[in-house]
Amino acid sequence: MTKHIFVTGGVVSSLGKGLTAASLALLLQRRGYRVRMQKLDPYLNVDPGTMSPYQHGEVYVTIDGAETDLDLGHYERFTGTYCTRVSNYTTGRIYSDVISREREGGYLGKTVQVIPHITDEIKKAIRSLDSDDVDIAITEIGGTAGDIESLPFLEAIRQYRQEIGRKNGLFVHITLVPYIKAAGELKTKPSQQSVGILRTIGIIPDILICRCERQMKEDHKEKLALFCNVDKNLVIEETDVAHSIYEVPIELAKQDVDVYVMEMLNLHVTPLEMDDWKQMVDKLIHPGNGEIEIAVVGKYISLRDSYKSIYESLTHGGIASNVKVNVRMVESEEIEKKGAEALLAGVSGILVPGGFGNRGIEGKIQTIRYARENNVPFFGICLGMQCSVMEFARNVCGMKGANSTEFNEKTAYPVIDLMEEQKNVTKKGGTMRLGTYPCRLMEGTKAQKAYGVLNISERHRHRFEFNNNYSKQVEEKGMILSGVSPDGKLVEIIELKDHPWFVACQFHPEFQSTPLKAHPLFRDFIAAALKCSAKGKRHKRDNDLTRNASKPKNRK
């Protein structure tokens, strides 16, 4: 029987609930249990696919093509397991299923209500994780206790645990213990009140995980235990980690949270195997090869969550090359105003990520030109690949104004065009080319060298594609179409012949990278950037030496 853990959040959002849930999952997995994760989001969109990254951060795409919450990225990166369509439900999706069923006559004769019909549908979503090959399912409820819209979800998990019993279900509440500077104190009151809110709806947390800036004292824990009805050893402290989110599971393990979970769920307490994880974290904190700087040039730069998986994947590439990767976040519109050289000089590599819409496109093209002409290692992803083709067509093949029909339908050179299958699509939600598709690599290319195999599969989220009418022209000028769909119709990867490392792909490799195994393209991109930066430094040092060598003579 699958056991269930329900994770709720208290006081404020952005506590890193997803990270904590993923860390707990990792610990249980490293105790030999098979864990599956799920996020229930109380908002009304059927999925986050139609939301701006500014609203919601990155849209994470699962292997089976669901557009989901970015917390699923943490789940996958921490546990190395795949999420699917059943790993993320929203209020919108739950209601839309119930309402369609009502229209089909599925509730004939009945009044359809939040309780029991919506809550039953939520319980069905939770139950969809039950399986012979899942020992523990962790369900995170989005939002904060007290939000009106999360009430049906909280009622559903209350009922669920009541039905499966205490030995099979647990409530974990992640809450904030703020530090009040003026008083010089940590305060437990908001957490007490948050647990109070849960209690009014019949949920008493079994474990309290307290997010805090500073370490808690024993009396804080005692107070929380007493007023929240939680055993003192189950008041767990999660202080901000010093270096990396990948330290969180190690910190939680020190307080035996996973052991308590196993005990409460009547599971054997098996040994914890975290050596490789600890080594990885150690490598991350003490990189032998110093630091490099990578520019990420996009249009949603001001919100860090917009490119969450990209930033994580760059870190993974850094772990593989033993180097700390610092990211210089650059707004592509700023490049349009100030020029590429002004904002990109000195970086060891440049990445242009995915995106939609016209804003900042010309800045991305200038960026790509800068990377191509200055031999700066370059990695383009999705829109980043499409812009690379546009740049090459314009500036190398002489196709003036070459563009994507997403931005200019009347361009004389539509080098990027709407995919055939998209031409009759009018609705926006869930209608892109989504999820995993196979791709065939060309032998001897940088892409093939990175993967080490000829056939790969990667996750997609786009409507536009490389226009094959231009393949000959770009190939003649030195662009290699190094990855294509098995039928040869869709170009999935391009690269440049005479460049240290210029690779761009139509898919999203950032969804398949983990700290223990960097995605091959991110790994090789960072390796190329490191190589270039070492060369740059050597070159600089040589110049300095030459200058210094001549100085004393002159001075004398």
- 67 phi and psi, to 5 degrees? -95, 120
How far apart, in whole angstroms, are the C-alpha atoms of residue 316 and residue 322? 10
Contacts to ligand GLN from residues 481-520, by CB under 6 A: none
Binding mask 407-446 for ligand GLN (x = CB under 6 A): ----------------------------------------
Tokens (6 digits) for 268: 């054997």
**CA angle (147, 139, 200) in 5-degree steps:** 40
Least separation in angstroms between CB 313 and ligand GLN: 15
CA-based R_g, the chain, Å:
26
* 66, 85 contact by CB (below 8 A): yes
Cross-strand bridge partners of residue 521:
none
Least separation in angstroms between CB 295 and ligand GLN: 18
Q: Does 382 bind ligand GLN (CB under 6 A)?
A: yes
Least separation in angstroms between CB 381 and ligand GLN: 7
Q: Does 406 bind ligand GLN (CB under 6 A)?
A: yes
**H-state helical runs in 322-350:** 332-338, 340-344
Least separation in angstroms between CB 420 and ligand GLN: 13
Length of the chain: 556
- 417 phi and psi, to 5 degrees? -140, 165
Least separation in angstroms between CB 508 and ligand GLN: 7
How far apart, in whole angstroms, are the C-alpha atoms of residue 553 and residue 105? 95
Which is nearer to ligand GLN, 227 or 356 (by Cβ)?
Answer: 356
Buried b vs exposed e over 199-234: b needs ≥16 C-beta within 10 Å?
A: eeeebebbbbbbbbeeebeeebbebbbeebebeeeb
| Residues contacting residue 349 through CB under 8 Å, at least 6 positions apart | 292, 294, 295, 376, 377, 378, 379, 501, 525, 526, 528, 529, 532
Which is nearer to ligand GLN, 39 or 462 (by Cβ)?
Answer: 462
Catalytic residue, candidates 382, 387, 397, 439: 382
Least separation in angstroms between CB 544 and ligand GLN: 41
Q: Which stretch binds ligand GLN (CB under 6 A): 176-184, 243-251, 382-390, 512-520?
A: 382-390
Which is nearer to ligand GLN, 82 or 356 (by Cβ)?
Answer: 356
- 296 phi and psi, to 5 degrees? -110, 115
Which is nearer to ligand GLN, 98 or 490 (by Cβ)?
Answer: 490
**Contact with ligand GLN (CB under 6 A): which of 85, 463, 477, 517?**
463
Which is nearer to ligand GLN, 71 or 465 (by Cβ)?
Answer: 465
Number of residues interacting with ligand GLN: please give it, by CB under 6 A. 11
**Contact with ligand GLN (CB under 6 A): which of 347, 383, 441, 530?**
383
Q: Which stretch binds ligand GLN (CB under 6 A): 154-162, 342-350, 461-469, 529-537?
A: 461-469
How far apart, in whole angstroms, are the C-alpha atoms of residue 308 and residue 296? 12
Name the residue among 268, 272, 2 with its Cα closest to residue 135: 2
**Contact with ligand GLN (CB under 6 A): which of 308, 316, 461, 499?**
461
Tokens (6 digits) for 29: 């997995």
- 397 assigned to active site: no
Least separation in angstroms between CB 427 and ligand GLN: 15
Which is nearer to ligand GLN, 406 or 524 (by Cβ)?
Answer: 406
Catalytic residue, candidates 74, 220, 462, 508: 508
Angle formed by the axes of helices 71-79 and 308-321, to 10°? 20
Which is nearer to ligand GLN, 281 or 481 (by Cβ)?
Answer: 481
How far apart, in whole angstroms, are the C-alpha atoms of residue 185 and residue 174? 20
Least separation in angstroms between CB 308 and ligand GLN: 14
Name the residue among 360, 356, 479, 464 with its Cα closest to residue 420: 464
Which is nearer to ligand GLN, 321 or 404 (by Cβ)?
Answer: 404
Least separation in angstroms between CB 440 and ligand GLN: 20
Least separation in angstroms between CB 417 and ligand GLN: 10
**Contact with ligand GLN (CB under 6 A): which of 464, 507, 511, 525?**
464
- 508 assigned to active site: yes
Q: List, edge to edge, every strand of the sheet that includes 136-141.
A: 88-90, 35-41, 136-141, 3-9, 169-176, 207-212, 235-239
- 382 assigned to active site: yes
Q: Does 308 bind ligand GLN (CB under 6 A)?
A: no
CA 32 to each of CA 39, 80, 122, 148, 352: distance values in angstroms, whole numbers, following the listed order: 23, 14, 28, 38, 39
Q: Whose CB is nearest to ligand GLN? A: 354
Residue 337: alpha-carbon gap to chain centroid: 30
CA 520 to each of CA 423, 446, 524, 528: distance values in angstroms, whole numbers, following the listed order: 33, 10, 6, 12
Catalytic residue, candidates 76, 121, 140, 510: 510
Contacts to ligand GLN from residues 350-379, by CB under 6 A: 354-356
Tokens (6 digits) for 545: 């030496």
Tokens (6 digits) for 291: 């630091």
| Residues contacting residue 518 through CB under 8 Å, at least 6 positions apart | 313, 316, 317, 319, 320, 526
**Contact with ligand GLN (CB under 6 A): which of 308, 462, 519, 523?**
462
Which is nearer to ligand GLN, 343 or 504 (by Cβ)?
Answer: 504
Which is nearer to ligand GLN, 38 or 68 (by Cβ)?
Answer: 68
Which is nearer to ligand GLN, 16 or 65 (by Cβ)?
Answer: 65
**Could you tell me how many helices (H) and strands (E) the chain has, helices first?**
19, 23
Contacts to ligand GLN from residues 326-355, by CB under 6 A: 354-355
* Residues recognised as catalytic: 382, 508, 510
- Interacting residues toward ligand GLN by CB under 6 A: 354-356, 382-383, 386, 406, 461-464
